Every structure is written in structure tokens, then in C-alpha cells.
Structure 1
């Protein structure tokens, strides 16, 4: 496990890892098995910080796999861009922001993760991401808006398909400030799921895991 990494036990079958990015690109890539499609994807990333974030996510998921005595053989992406482990049946999700990478692994069901700093810019995305009742509950407070955004991002990553909008299809029940467990929903015309979202004040601001 990397120094300063924070391991979170979400449930008996689910663990997340939050990793501060302190290593440079060569150190992150050293010994990390990358498939040719992954190398091709990395080659398209020009910004140095984004390259280190991309690599750090894979370091984090590798460490989670090895925690379970698995052999990490790299990732592949499905037709929707959702990442999967090569040769292992476990579900994963990745997230990164400036200076931080996060990964989550669930042994038996789909999972999604998101990390976000708390910032004023969330106010700008309110009309297209929150329902009327969610807007009323958020009351313009940056901390609540961040929770809604982070929670909905984790739901979106869990579902892992396109044709979803945050406002119409992803919903979060009202929550008390500081709540660590939320209830979320994916609501489509022919399908509804009720999901648990664990929310942590940690690292750059917030970390949410939906499962």
C-alpha cells in the first residue's frame, strides 16, 4: 500500500482507496501493467498532471486487487467507456481530481466512485443537474451542492451507460448535513434501482461511493 493512502471499508465486499499523488509519472508507471489500448489512451493525454492522475488511478486499483490476493493484469473499457478488470470478475470504478486519485472495488455488484473538492462553481451546474426538490433542499449551499454532484456522479459511474441525465434520471433523497449514508435512485422509463451512497469528507473535499 502506498504511503499516505487511505483505505476505506465501504461494506464487507467493497473497499475504496484514496491516494494523494506525490510520485511523478515514471515512478507511477514503473511496474504497472498497461495493455496496448491503455498505452494508446495514455498517449492521447497531453497535460502532465492529467497523465499522473490517470496513472495514479491504476496504481490505486492495482493495490486494491492485491489486497484481495488477486493478480492485476490491467484494465479494459466496454462500449460505454466503463473500466473493467482484465481476468477478474470484480466491479471497479475510478475517479481523480487535482492531486488525488481514487478507486473502488466491489466483489459482487456494480459500483461507482467520485471525488470532488467543494467549490463555488457547483452553483453554475444546478439547473441541469438537480430536480426542483433537490434545488430547494440544497438552498444554494456549496457543501450541499457538492454532495449532490458527487453522489450523482457516483450513480452515473455505477450505471455505466449513456442516455442518462443527472436531472431527470438520477435522484438523491434529502439528507442531513454531514450525513455519511445517502439513498439514491436511477429512474428510467423501464427500470428503477435504489442504491446506497456512502459519502466521506476526506482528501480534497468529498468522496462518494454508490453500490
Structure 2
């Protein structure tokens, strides 16, 4: 289940809608930029609504040693993403998931050499929309895997895709671990939304 929402609330409204744990309050206190605080809160409200829609009380989030968020007192899997004015969350009852939301922007062209493999660079052919799909899909894979020993160029790979195709095939390739995953990529909200599962 995915929740994508435009952020229309202010910080006070979002805070009043949530009961943050002490670690969550400490993390929020470390965020100094006002817009990032609102996005952080909006993500938690999005995931709370997903959990409560399943008829289960929401107890908050905790992060593991890699910084990946997990539901407190629940085996379900979640992932969060935000960008200016938007918050997204995904919930799956039985398998890891990753989500990313991105506006389509020229920055993707500047990061190509460190993000895409040679094969992906050739396929993207400097097309901004394809570059955005690669970036967003790889971010979702990174969040799904949830550990920090990954580089986008060397360990995360997306198979070539047709323009306007919304179902992609991705791979996490490490010396001691390899898996193939599906990624749904949609044009929505500020640009793109990718969900890896």
C-alpha cells in the first residue's frame, strides 16, 4: 500500500496529529531547516495513516543501525520519501520495500557518471526523463536493501526499459548477495514515484 500526499499542513498541525516517541522527538530536534521538519513529519503521518487503515494502532518508528526506519512493535515493512511539498510512504506486510519520490530536474545529468553503469548511461542517452527513472528506481532499491555498503553505479542495476513503461526490473549485486527485484515507477505528484519490492 502506498500513500502519496501533497503537504498542506504547517508544522504545528502535523505535530498535533502525531504522538512522537522520545527518539523521534530527538531526531526532529536535530533537523533545523523548517521545510525539512515539515516533510519529516508529513512522512510519519503518511505511514501512520497506512498502518491505521489496516486496523492496527500506530506506535511510531525506530531506526536500525543503518538508519532504515521500522515500525515499532510490528513485523511489517515500510519506507518513506519526501521532496519539496510532498511526502510518500509504502507499507508491505511481508517483504521489504523501498520508495522514492523525485521531481524531474537537470541535476540528474550531473550525477550520471557516479550513479549509472556504462550500460545504463548508453540506454539513458542523456534523456532527462530516462535519467530520472534510473535515479528514482535506484533510490527505491537502495532504501529497500537498507544497508550502507552500496554504490548506485556498482551495486544497483536497472534493466533497460521502454519509455512510459511503469514496471522495471532491478538488481542488487554484491560479492556475497544478489537479488532481482521489481520496481513500479509512476509519473505523479512532483515528477516520479518509484516503489521497489
Q: Same fold (TM over 0.5)?
A: yes
Structure 1 residue aligned with 2:26: 40
Deviating above 6 A after TM superposition, structure 1's stretches of 4 or more consecutive aligned residues are none
Question: 1:99 matched to which residue of 2?
Answer: 85
Deviation at 1:31, TM superposition (A): 3.3
In the other structure, the counterpart of 1:210 is 196
Residue 172 of structure 1 deviates from its aligned partner by 0.2
Q: Distance in 2 between matches of 1:48 and 1:190?
A: 41
Q: Shift of residue 190 of structure 1?
A: 1.2
1:116 aligns with 2:102: yes
Alpha-carbon distance between aligned partners in 2 of 1:100 and 1:46, rounded to the nearest angstrom:
18
Which residue in the other structure is 1:7 paired with?
Answer: none
Q: CA RMSD in A?
A: 0.5
- Say yes or no: does 1:28 pair with 2:19: no
Distance 2:130 2:72 in 1: 37
Match of residue 52 from structure 2 = 66
Give the distance between the partners of 1:33 and 1:107, measured in 2 at CA. 23
1:101-156 alpha-carbon deviations (Å, 9 max, x no partner): 00000100000000000011100100000000000000001100000000000000
Distance 1:167 1:25 in 2: 37
3-state SS of the aligned residue for 1:30? helix
Question: Does residue 80 in structure 1 map to residue 51 in structure 2?
Answer: no
Aligned 1:126-165 pairs, distance under 5 A: 126-165=112-151
Q: CA deviation at 1:89?
A: 1.0
Equivalent position of 2:156 in the other structure: 170
Match of 1:52 among 19, 31, 38: 38
Q: How far, CA to CA, are the matches of 1:146 and 1:71 in structure 2?
A: 36
The residue aligned with 1:199 is 185
Larger mean Cα displacement after TM superposition, 28-37 or 186-195: 28-37
TM-score, normalised to structure 2, is 0.99
Q: Secondary structure at the match of 1:33?
A: coil
Deviation at 1:70, TM superposition (A): 1.1
Aligned length, in residue pairs: 197
Give the structure 1 partner of residue 2 of structure 2: 16
CA distance in 2, matches of 1:208, 1:70: 26
Q: Which runs of 5+ in 2 are unaligned?
A: none
CA distance in 2, matches of 1:70, 1:152: 31
